[in-house]
């Protein structure tokens, strides 16, 4: 069992005595790359001075160092990492692979693509990637994902806000989502794992200018719903401005048809609020819908780039039985479940493609979670494991984490 130290993120209020107009100088941290297998964040420090305002964005990169061989004599097949940050100071905007469709670690190889969950309430980012071709990588040092943050809290004069952006953290002690997995046949976690974090610091400055900016930070719902069933749609707004806003109006629509309207009486600067809209699909036709949540701009708001967010939801025939995306039955959908789909990739069940045909040697019926219906991916098994199954299980990545 690998050792890992959970780090509590703290808001450090460092009161400094300023002599005249002497600025607060943040010295960069210099550290050695941790030994493989390891995850670490670069740059080691992200420091901002008094001229920075709420809404400033910056990007850090998660790197990996893999061993030539694990303790089992195998190479690396899958990576998964959960990073923590202080959600009162920072908001995660995006997580993107560093080499286009793959990480640099798996460059040139067939992968499942990026699986990610951004939780700006708990202050965590979970990401992962798995090979699908039976290949693996040996000793390498390469980047994995770029993570973009937005600053949501400014220090008061004479103070510094500090937190870690840390890949050694588990928001729930019973859930461990930072690991490397061995290649076949083991799929065991590689040990001992080491990590290193990035230190974020925002030094004291003058009171920031008045900014009016309320954004739609997230919208979520199930990827599919049976026709006639009411689907809860969760929409979260964030006040990126510097003052409290009142009577903030939020709308939810499905393919442009109004689901509902709600008004937030008051939301403070840097605060967020989550609303729930119930979409009654009784009159909805079968097919794919774009569900959009939009916050009406507040008075004097000039930045309108983030007032809406959308997701895709499929309305399915109620006669289809539901499928489970928790393939290994551990109560959550993570990289271990995606790895099982990857291992069964390209396989088919009995009688596919012809009656009497034997199932593929790597066939796993639990990995068959999706098929095509009316040219759309639906959660209905079709007797084979292909990209439709990888796409669908990736959409459910993160369910059961918290």
**Whether residue 55 is found in the same domain as residue 195:** yes
Residue 222's φ and ψ, nearest 5 degrees, are: -65, 150
pLDDT digits (tens, 9 = 90+) for 277-325: 999 999 898 888 999 999 999 999 999 999 999 999 888 776 667 788 9
Q: Are 164 and 197 in contact (CB under 8 A)?
A: yes
Considering 203, 236, 262, which residue would you say is the last residue of a domain? Answer: 203
Provide the pLDDT for residue 175. Answer: 61
Q: Are 268 and 248 in contact (CB under 8 A)?
A: no
Among 247-261, 290-304, 348-362, the least confident range: 348-362
Provide the pLDDT for residue 315. Answer: 85
Considering 203, 228, 260, which residue would you say is the last residue of a domain? Answer: 203
Q: Hey, what are 67's tokens?
A: 């061993």
Provide the pLDDT for residue 326. Answer: 93
Distance separating alpha carbons of residues 326 and 334, to the nearest angstrom: 8
Name the residue among 298, 162, 312, 317 with its Cα closest to residue 229. Answer: 317
Token pair 């928790």 is at which residue?
A: 326
In a domain, 52, yes or no: yes
**Whether residue 132 is found in the same domain as residue 186:** yes
pLDDT digits (tens, 9 = 90+) for 77-107: 999 999 999 999 999 999 999 999 999 999 9
Is there a cis peptide before residue 353, judged by omega within 30 degrees of 0? yes
Residue 101 half-sphere exposure toward CB, CA atoms < 13 A: 6
**pLDDT tier for residue 205 given thresholds of 50, 70 and 90:** low
**Whether residue 304 is found in the same domain as residue 249:** yes
CATH of the domain at 136: 2.60.40.680
**Whether residue 61 is found in the same domain as residue 187:** yes
Total residue length of the chain: 402
Provide the pLDDT for residue 3. Answer: 34
Provide the pLDDT for residue 401. Answer: 85
**Whether residue 255 is found in the same domain as residue 343:** no
**Whether residue 285 is found in the same domain as residue 195:** no
**Whether residue 67 is found in the same domain as residue 105:** yes
Residue 224's φ and ψ, nearest 5 degrees, are: -150, 160
Q: Hey, what are 23's tokens?
A: 């600025």
pLDDT exceeds 60 at position 171: no
Residue 53's φ and ψ, nearest 5 degrees, are: -125, 160
CATH of the domain at 308: 2.60.40.10
**Whether residue 142 is found in the same domain as residue 260:** no
Provide the pLDDT for residue 288. Answer: 87
pLDDT digits (tens, 9 = 90+) for 63-73: 999 999 999 99
**Whether residue 60 is found in the same domain as residue 193:** yes
pLDDT digits (tens, 9 = 90+) for 25-42: 333 344 578 999 999 999
In a domain, 60, yes or no: yes
Task: Report the share of the chain in percent with pLDDT over 90.
Answer: 71
In a domain, 17, yes or no: no
pLDDT exceeds 50 at position 185: yes
**Whether residue 184 is found in the same domain as residue 305:** no
Distance separating alpha carbons of residues 13 and 207, to the nearest angstrom: 16
Number of H helices, E strands in the chain: 2, 22
pLDDT exceeds 80 at position 45: yes
Domain that holds residue 226: 214-316
Task: Give Cα separations from 152 to 62, 93, 103, 202, 206 (angstroms).
Answer: 22, 11, 28, 11, 16
Task: Give Cα separations from 326 to 59, 75, 186, 314 (angstroms).
Answer: 32, 25, 19, 20
**pLDDT tier for residue 14 given thresholds of 50, 70 and 90:** very low
Domain count, the chain: 3
Considering 175, 203, 231, which residue would you say is the last residue of a domain? Answer: 203
pLDDT exceeds 60 at position 173: no
Q: Are 66 and 137 in contact (CB under 8 A)?
A: yes
**Whether residue 85 is found in the same domain as residue 170:** yes
pLDDT exceeds 60 at position 17: no
**Whether residue 347 is found in the same domain as residue 270:** no
SS3 149: strand
pLDDT digits (tens, 9 = 90+) for 206-232: 556 889 999 999 999 987 888 888 999
In a domain, 4, yes or no: no
Provide the pLDDT for residue 354. Answer: 79
pLDDT digits (tens, 9 = 90+) for 144-161: 999 999 999 999 887 899
In a domain, 400, yes or no: no
SS3 106: coil
pLDDT exceeds 70 at position 7: no
Provide the pLDDT for residue 320. Answer: 65
Question: Got the DSSP string for 243-260?
Answer: S-EEEEEEEEEETTEEEE
Q: Are strands 245-254 and 287-295 parallel, antiparallel or unpaired?
A: antiparallel
Question: Got the DSSP string for 33-87?
Answer: PPPSSEEEEESSEEEE-TT--TT-EEEEEEEEEE-SS-TTS--EEEEEEEEE--T
In a domain, 180, yes or no: yes
Provide the pLDDT for residue 319. Answer: 66
β-bridge mates for residue 111, sequence order: 131
In a domain, 322, yes or no: no
In a domain, 48, yes or no: yes
């Amino acid at each position: 069992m690998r050792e890992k130290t959970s780090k509590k993120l703290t808001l450090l209020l460092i009161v400094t005595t300023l002599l005249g107009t002497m600025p607060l100088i943040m010295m960069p941290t210099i550290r050695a790359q941790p030994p493989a297998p390891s995850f670490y964040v670069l740059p080691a420090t992200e420091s901002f001075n008094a001229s920075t305002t709420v809404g400033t964005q910056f990007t850090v990169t998660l790197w990996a160092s893999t061993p030539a061989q694990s303790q089992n004599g195998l190479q690396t097949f899958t990576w998964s990492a959960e990073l923590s940050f202080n959600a009162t100071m920072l908001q995660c905007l995006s997580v993107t692979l560093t080499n286009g469709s793959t990480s640099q670690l798996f460059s040139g190889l067939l992968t499942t693509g990026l699986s990610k969950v951004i939780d700006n309430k708990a202050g965590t980012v979970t990401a992962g990637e798995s090979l699908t071709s039976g290949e693996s990588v040996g000793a390498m040092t390469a980047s994995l994902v770029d993570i973009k943050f937005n600053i949501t809290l400014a220090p008061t004069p004479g103070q510094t806000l500090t937190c870690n952006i840390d890949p050694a953290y588990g928001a729930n002690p019973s859930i461990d989502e930072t690991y490397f997995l061995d290649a076949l046949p083991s799929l065991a976690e590689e040990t001992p794992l080491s990590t290193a974090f990035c230190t974020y610091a925002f030094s004291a400055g003058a009171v920031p200018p008045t900014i009016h900016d309320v954004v739609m930070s997230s919208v979520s719902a199930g990827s599919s719903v049976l026709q006639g069933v009411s689907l809860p749609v969760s929409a979260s707004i964030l006040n990126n401005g510097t003052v409290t806003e009142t009577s903030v109006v939020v709308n939810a629509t499905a393919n442009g048809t109004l689901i509902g309207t709600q008004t937030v009486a008051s939301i403070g600067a840097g605060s967020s609020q989550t609303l729930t809209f119930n979409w009654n699909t009784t009159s909805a036709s079968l097919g794919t819908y774009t569900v959009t949540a939009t916050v009406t701009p507040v008075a004097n708001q000039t930045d309108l780039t983030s007032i809406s967010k959308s997701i895709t939801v499929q309305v399915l025939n109620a006669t289809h039985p539901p499928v489970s995306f928790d393939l290994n039955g551990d109560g959550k959908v993570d990289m271990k479940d995606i790895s099982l789909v990857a291992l069964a990739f390209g396989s088919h069940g009995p009688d596919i493609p012809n009656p009497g045909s034997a199932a593929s040697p790597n066939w796993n019926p639990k990995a068959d979670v999706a098929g095509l219906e009316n040219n759309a991916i639906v959660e209905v098994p079709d007797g084979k494991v292909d990209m439709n199954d990888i796409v669908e299980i990736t959409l459910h990545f993160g369910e059961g984490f918290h």
